[in-house]
A = this chain, B = another copy of it.
Amino acid sequence: MKILHRYVCAFSCALSLLSATAAGKDYADYVNPFIGTTGDGNTFPGAALPFGMVKVGPDCADLQSNSGYRPTGGVKGFSHTHVSGTGGGCKYGNILIAPFFGSRPQPGRQLSRDIETVSPGYFSMILEDGAVEAEMTVSPHAAVHRYTFQSGDSVGILVDAGSILGEHYGFGEAQNLIGSEVRILSDHEIEGYCRADGGWNMGRAYTVYFYASFSRPMSSAGVWKEDELSVGATEAFDDGSHTGAWFAFDKVDKPVEVRVGISYLSEGRAKANCMAEVAGRTFDEVHAAARSAWNDELGKVSISTDNKDELVKFYTALYHSFLQPVDKTGENALWKGSAPYYDDFYCIWDTFRTLHPLFTVIAPEREAAIVNSLIDIYRHEGYMPDGRSGDSNGRTQGGSNADMVVAEAVLKGLPGIDGPAALEAMMKDAEADPGNDARVHGRGGVSDYKKLGYVSTDYERGGTRTLEYAANDYAIAQCAAMLGRDELAERYFARARNWENLWKDIEFEGASGFIMPRKPDGNWHEDYREPTWDYYSSTPPCRLDIEPFNKVPENYLSTGAFTPGVGGNWVNMFYESNSWEYSFYVPHDVARLMERCGGRERFVDRLDRFFNDGHYNITNEPGFLTPCLYIYAGEHAAAVDRIHTILANHYTTGPDGLPGNDDSGSMSSWYAFHKMGFFPVAGQDVYLITAPQFEKVDIALGKGRQLCIEAPGVSDTRRYIASATLNGKPLDRAWFTHGEIADGGVLRFEMTDRPTGWGSGILPPSQSDVK
């Protein structure tokens, strides 16, 4: 294998570096889509639009990478559907196009690769020692490929309809090919589809249709089924095989372009998408439109720095934040309706904390459309998703956190949300037991939770579930109150206190009180062992649990309930986390949590221990809010210190520059918020003021409204807030509501290099304050 030079020309930022604060800048220049592609980031480096359905990019090596991309090894070609930042079994990777040499292809062959060049809406890779350059750009539902062959010899391009990512992944999370079909329509047109199921969310079958139009007529063509080529044949109908088709060209004197329309409805619709979006447009025109679309989104925030790395990290974070969910409005094969339709919520357990709140600030109409699509999914399928991909709900790791997304939209007054419908969708989560489908949607063990006030050790993930359900209930309660449903609000406010039912007053490592396992009879489970996977036990197994796990029972403590950085999984008490971390997760009542921890001072001490002893874990989401908890204790400067440390140590401009799976932009939006200097308390109408990083941040809120955040003289040392004003009025609290900034304004900080007591005047709201 040749040595790869992927980053040599990978990133054009250096050529045109300018301050991004000036008007009309090409913000896309600051984006490095390679950030997060290695390590655990799993970001997608190919060509995509903001929320775009088509994500065209390379599928590498053994097709076992979540994003399709791998930094080393060969590449099989370039497919049109991907996700960004995910973990577990792969999804998508459908309709793969690849160049080949000679008059007929070897389907599945890996091509060697050299230089890669990427930017928003554009991806290029030099293949086979420079024998061909593959370039691609993208529109919402289509892609344009351009293959520039160095020699005029016989070459060709194949369309592999049977290729998918993760076909041989283990743990029941493989994608499975159900069938594929290709048809050569003319000397320059091929259509067909790929149908698959499975992947991380263990989803039902989905079908990706394509229509491909080539810029020159083929000289010869054929189709294949599995390994068998049929030269001259024009169709391979679906019999469950891996099928594909190819066009070969005798003399190639200029680049061959392929315009590919994609649809989840039909080949006809795929053709219509191709015609509407890329037919009759040059590669460069489509590319320019894609870049322009990115600049529209990226330009919503402008930061005052000339530091290249800061610009790159910030705009790449924004870029990654806008890759998912995917706008499939008009492409819903499951029902017809007027509501928007979004897919690839992957998953809301990750994204509700920072990604959706980011949309709420800088893309409120987009967020409203997303929320309406969640409510519409509930209307038609009975539950809002937590995870959803390939049009299938699944899986649900903790609470019903779509409630947080929907509630936040209601509480913040996003346009066009039907409050009562939103409430109904949330209450379905809160009340209806999903039984055996608890990993698919809804709240597993909610009957237990309703009856006992906690999810007992009869169920898996009782810790995560109980704490998140309580936070979810608080979100519902606030909406109910806002909608005048006072009695309902009372009921859910009461349920929001349920986290205390798992709070056990034990002392451990200097901290007082932890979330601990509790039996259905009300007694603490002193010798708790994780639930076994006895398929026929009284614990409802998962619907999708077709190949039951046969986990050996583990002792509770051995799963890492108190081990720094260690987290559990499906069958454990805490998902991707432990009791040290989850015992801080009471976002709606930090005041009461503080009491349970032994008061303000012990709470601050506990936070210090948590961070100093290595319990804090930025690689997953449960601790996203934890650095901010100092603010609730009136210790704003401590929060500033923690946030500065995390930003400095865990985000870089390298391909391994994200601390964990980006999770559809979750890690990236966490970063973006803290770089802007504030942070959302998900599911509530509260933003915390955190640690300003730039002298000036201008945020377009839509409809011409602008929020300007100023922190003159801010620096790594001059990082503490001495005082603040909001629209010229003094602000002695480290938080604000959406209404206070939704029409724009100026939030100005005086910075200092010494910790201050600022922000302790009025602490952020807690349930215990008002109830």
Residues of A within 8 A of B (CB): 176-179, 181, 183, 193, 195, 197, 204-205, 207, 235-240, 265-266, 268-269, 271-272, 330, 332-336, 379-383, 424, 427-428, 431-438, 442, 447, 450, 535-536, 538, 540-546
CB A489 to nearest CB in B, in angstroms, measures 14
Residues in B with CB closer than 8 Å to A197 are 334-335
Residues in B with CB closer than 8 Å to A432 are 435-436, 540-541
Known: A266-B193, A334-B197. Is A382-B544 also a contact (CB below 8 A)? yes
Residues in B with CB closer than 8 Å to A431 are 535-536, 538
Known: A238-B266, A336-B240. Is A546-B178 also a contact (CB below 8 A)? no
Contact between chains at A176 and B335 (CB < 8 Å): yes
A to B CB contacts below 8 Å, 26 in the list: A177-B336, A178-B335, A181-B266, A181-B269, A195-B265, A195-B333, A204-B334, A207-B333, A237-B268, A239-B269, A239-B272, A379-B546, A380-B546, A382-B542, A382-B544, A383-B436, A427-B535, A432-B541, A433-B435, A435-B435, A435-B436, A435-B437, A435-B438, A435-B442, A437-B437, A450-B538
For A383, the closest partner residue in chain B by CB is B543
Residues in B with CB closer than 8 Å to A536 are 427, 431
Residues in B with CB closer than 8 Å to A195 are 265, 333
CA distance A424 to B547 in the complex (A): 11
Contact between chains at A238 and B269 (CB < 8 Å): yes
CA distance A437 to B179 in the complex (A): 29
CB A519 to nearest CB in B, in angstroms, measures 16
Residues in B with CB closer than 8 Å to A330 are 239
Residues in B with CB closer than 8 Å to A237 are 266, 268-269, 271-272
CB A74 to nearest CB in B, in angstroms, measures 27
CA distance A237 to B141 in the complex (A): 15
Residues in B with CB closer than 8 Å to A332 are 178
CA distance A205 to B379 in the complex (A): 15
Contact between chains at B435 and A205 (CB < 8 Å): no
CA distance A544 to B379 in the complex (A): 9
CA distance A162 to B272 in the complex (A): 19
Residues in B with CB closer than 8 Å to A427 are 535-536
Residues in B with CB closer than 8 Å to A240 are 336
For A178, the closest partner residue in chain B by CB is B336
Residues in B with CB closer than 8 Å to A383 are 436, 543
Residues in B with CB closer than 8 Å to A442 are 435-436
Residues in B with CB closer than 8 Å to A238 are 265-266, 268-269
Contact between chains at A382 and B543 (CB < 8 Å): yes
CA distance A271 to B381 in the complex (A): 33
